[in-house]
Amino acid sequence: MSTADPTSNAAGPLAGIRIVELGGIGPGPFAGMLLADQGAEVIRIDRPAEAGTASKHPVLHRNRRSVTLDLKDPVGVEAVRAIIDTADALIEGFRPGVAERLGLGPGACLARNPELVYGRMTGWGQDGPLARMPGHDINYIAVAGALGALGAADGNPPVPLNLVGDMGGGGMLLALGVTTALVSVKTSGKGQVVDAAMTDGTAIQLSLIHGLLAVGRWTDRRASNLFDGAAPFYRTYRTSDGGYMAVGCVEPQFYAALLEALGLGDDPLFAGQHDQGNWPAMSARLDEVFAGRTRAEWTEAFDGTQSCVTPVYGLTEAATHPHNVARGTYYTEDGLLQPAPAPRFAGTPAATPRPAPLVGAHTREVLAEIGLDAAVVDALVSKR
């Protein structure tokens, strides 16, 4: 049963939900951030050696309370168990078997808190030949089939940051799994374990592509399909000043608007939008055209046209785009530029996130809340 502090982050659809996050990196903290942004009280368990230091991930660790406890100390583990007893959900990102060895596996935790949602974040999943092997985003998306579908036909597959595996296939999948399981607990009264694997999450993001492949509308070769850079109307073009424009005019009316804006409406080369035999020549011609003006000039030329053509912005520059400014997609807190919470809820809007705390800033506070004896709290804090 949750004893979440309703004043800790009392805005958003998850207000009143308490989640314990066993400190990790990448996708686990991202899931914790997503849940905290929507109002859940997330208590992150960090390592004592880092107590008093600033967070190394000031955006991913926002909206938390931080407690430092030694997971190799039986007294520290018992304190973590006591915190989990008060929670609705737990998320951890250890390799399979590690949480069990620490005495914090799903069996032990659910025995004490039968309605607990136990969220597990791994790259390979809890079982399978690679389950206990190390890896990173690039490895997971490679094995899942996504990396091999990206890039030019004659070049190395490009690394898509760590968006596909860690974030989309990992953290978001775990956040979905936890919230879905919380609904299940509400209807069934029984907790459960969520096995969120980045290979699975990457694979499910390929659902559209697999569907197209199955009906013969996609080939299993890079740079030969509609959405992989082969189509001249769905790719980027370099401008005269070294910038880029993104062209995404798939539908015929948008394609026609593109040609009109470029003065190519009567060019026979572009008469057959889906004539793949002409795609290389069409792309080469558009390369020449876009190279004739600056990004700013092309942005102005396409402004107001329904052609699905936009400038390509960098990370900090994107925050200045009028659309992002109008929606508040990004905001700055104490000089730190970061994305605002998403998605947005009309009835239970999220609050502006609180900055990431110093590591261990809430150790005494949380341990006192769960009823630990003051002497025990003093002993645990003194071990940091």
Domains and CATH numbers, the chain: 18-205+338-382 (3.40.50.10540), 234-311 (3.30.1540.10)
Can you give the pLDDT at residue 311?
98
- Helix 27-37 with 172-188: angle, nearest 10 deg: 60
Can you give the pLDDT at residue 197?
98
Neighbour tally for 225: CB within 10 Å: 20
* Of 37, 166, 200, 228, catalytic: 166
Q: Which residue has the tokens 């807190």?
A: 333
**Kind and range of the H or E element at 215?**
none
Can you give the pLDDT at residue 344?
96
Helices (H), the chain: 27-37, 74-85, 98-101, 106-112, 137-144, 172-188, 198-205, 207-214, 252-262, 279-290, 295-302, 315-318, 322-327, 363-369, 374-382
Residues 6+ apart with CB under 8 A from 276: 230
Dihedral (CA of 24, 34, 56, 51) sign: negative
Contact by Cβ (8 Å): 9, 354: yes
136 is catalytic: yes
**Block means of pLDDT (10 residues each) for the chain, length 384 residues?**
48 96 95 98 96 96 97 96 98 97 98 98 98 97 98 95 98 98 97 98 98 97 96 98 98 97 96 96 98 98 96 97 97 96 96 96 96 91 78
Token pair listed for 199:
């290979």
Can you give the pLDDT at residue 382?
82
The edge-to-edge listing of strands for the beta sheet with 89-92 is 64-68, 41-46, 18-22, 89-92, 117-122, 192-197
166 is catalytic: yes
Q: What are phi and psi of 247, to 5 degrees?
A: -110, 125
How far apart are the C-alpha atoms of 136 and 110, rounded to whole Å? 29
Query: Which pTM was predicted?
Result: 0.94
- Strand, helix or coil for residue 276: helix
Exposure b/e, 322-349, CB count within 10 A at least 16 = b: eeeeeeeebeeeeeeebeebeeeeeeee
How far apart are the C-alpha atoms of 328 and 259, rounded to whole Å? 33
How far apart are the C-alpha atoms of 353 and 58, rounded to whole Å? 11
How far apart are the C-alpha atoms of 69 and 360, rounded to whole Å? 8
Contact by Cβ (8 Å): 125, 197: yes
* Of 5, 73, 85, 136, catalytic: 136
| DSSP state, residue 370 | T
Can you give the pLDDT at residue 384?
66
Can you give the pLDDT at residue 383?
74
How far apart are the C-alpha atoms of 319 and 337, rounded to whole Å? 8
Can you give the pLDDT at residue 258?
98
